[in-house]
Structure 1
Amino acid sequence: MAQRGTRGTLGVAVIGTGRMGADHVRRIQEVTSGARVTAVVDIDAERAKAVAARVDGCTAYTDPAVAMAAADVDAVLVASPGPAHEAALLAAFARDLPVLCEKPLTPDAASALRVLEAERQLGRRRVQVGFMRRYDAEYMKLEQLLRTGQLGRPLLLHHRHRNVASPSGWTSDMLINDSVVHEMDVTRWLLGQEITAVTVLRPTPSVNAPDGLQDPQFVLFETDGGAVADVEIFVNCGFGYQVRAEVVCERGTARVGDGHAMVTHMAGRWGGTIAQDYLERFASAYDREVQAWVDATRRGEVTGPGAWDGYAAAAVCEAGVRALTEGGRVGVDLEERPALYR
């Protein structure tokens, strides 16, 4: 199946047509080269039809497996809610279709392991997980700098992750599972180390946080390379969307995310603008991520963060939620890394 896309334009089925899925449909049609959306899938049939109607030659479905069986589908982009990911991924594996799966790979470590084992049985990687920060220009430069060794060994990594306001219905656990999960992946990627333990500190909640929501939180990671990373997660800061990282090494430091692309001076003031959500802040990263996936798929390859990264993030999330609810330091239990992901 994967070789069909190498003969021409890649036909992509987008599963999930909510905000993220609809944005990916737009991206593939308007920004990405070498691919087009041939199918969209949503349990809400009318929403799927509305999205499909905006794309020539696109068919709406309510069943992912039926969409994947279509002759014009060469690859799958999964943007449905996390609990639906495992079934969609296993259906894609059954047809040997390459997949770009938005995070989380699955909502928990046990189901992520099932996906990982199913992919391992295929004998080749099929999944790229949507940790888009790896495709952000600033983060890419930081990772490249660390790989040169010019700064020496990384000792500390400081993350700041702020949102204007939390979505309706958010829980304290979701700050870990839906927000800090990005810092988990970035920490592993930048340092080239696995996270071995998590501690979560609970400052007095902000008056802007909904009742019962522990916001902000301060999360500490320990790694198997002896580094320590911290995350300030504050999802009701009120002023904008900010993501920053600073690495402290033996011979210097490096920081990304200051957002000073343009500074204005006018009317007795100086300043700039602050992004208001993740789609604005990481628009270019999403574009670069999807293009990289399409290019690799057309070559018959799978690159970028994979099923092991999705599983590792799920395991760290589980430790993080335990640390939040039970207190104290919680170790991360990881299975042995299979040869396919080394």
Structure 2
Amino acid sequence: MSLFIEFHLIQNFAPSNLNRDDTGAPKDAIFGGHRRARVSSQCFKRAIRLASQEHDLVAPEYRGVRTKKLKSLLLERLEGREQTEAEGNIEAALAAAGLKLKEDKTEYLLFLGEAEIAGFANLIEQHWDELVGAPVGAEKKGKKEAKASAPPEVVKKAKALLDGGKAVDVALFGRMLADMPGVNQDAACQVAHAISTHRVEREFDYFTAVDDKGGPDETGAGMIGQVEFNSATFYRYAVVDTGKLQSNLQGDGELTLSALAAFTQAMVRAIPTGKQNTFAAHNPPSFVGVCLRHSSPLNLANAFEKPVSARLDQSLTGQSVAALAAHEKQLATVYGDSRDQWAYLDLSDTWPENSGNRVANLEDLTVWVRMQIADQLEA
């Protein structure tokens, strides 16, 4: 049975530059024929991962690490060993798994579970003598070719380590290694680019800085510059395939529930870090709606194909929540399932009272998510 859990957020940010393009300007997009503020899905995924760590929402042993510095991480875990010998054994073990090194780093970013990293360290310790002196291939333009020469038993164990390690963020967001398709993991979670519910224009802040040690004969600023910014009410959307998540977590039902509870908290608390020292736009969502879908996911962004317009008597946030509710009702009539359920946290007091279970705070919303999914998994 398909079961998707959707997250629909309306979040108003004060003047900010949360996610920049290559020119330093806030990212944007044309939607419905109008320019909208945009924060990329990749930016929010990282913010979700950081929020999860900051609030300790996932146990360390079930976290993932995105890095090229796997060799350095393993050296830290083998610090009691002679370094030159440890480096050689690490390279041999990684080569056994099919991982290539270039200037002591993997040739691309790896997304590994903590258990996978610990597994490599344990493997090296257990097979230390067998790995000592095992060649890893010829040097070619600074890159060590991953040619396994370790004993077959070690090669088999090394390759078996790359199973995702039951890391929650790897299970949610997936990973792809082009030359090692066997260790790829399809994401259980899809995150949309956040877009403003209304039309936006870029603004410019012309700033100056004074030299504190400037003499009386020095006039003018010590530095001048400008930075682009905007202010926008965003619609954010993400959906998690609960069955796929449980599969990625190797069938661990309790960990699946903990992962969904952690994602609920992190999704709501996530705020990108771009230019925050300049703008301090720490603005939490005004509306968080969670929907359990039993047929297929429904992104409600088309509620804002016609952009919301500023009014003196209503906030953009309130209008956005109202437009979201109207669009949801319209789509649910045609594409919904009678088993679908909503719970929501609404600071705008705009979402219809009869359209789901209203909760008082984020903790209550998290409990609701966990209870509903627990019942569905048991069924």
Q: In which range does the TM-score fall when normalised by the shorter chain?
A: under 0.3
TM-score normalized with structure 1 length: 0.24
> Normalized against structure 2, the TM-score is what?
0.22
Look at both structures and tell me which one has the larger radius of gyration over its CA atoms.
2
Q: Relative contact order, CA 8 A, sep 6+: which one is greater?
A: 2
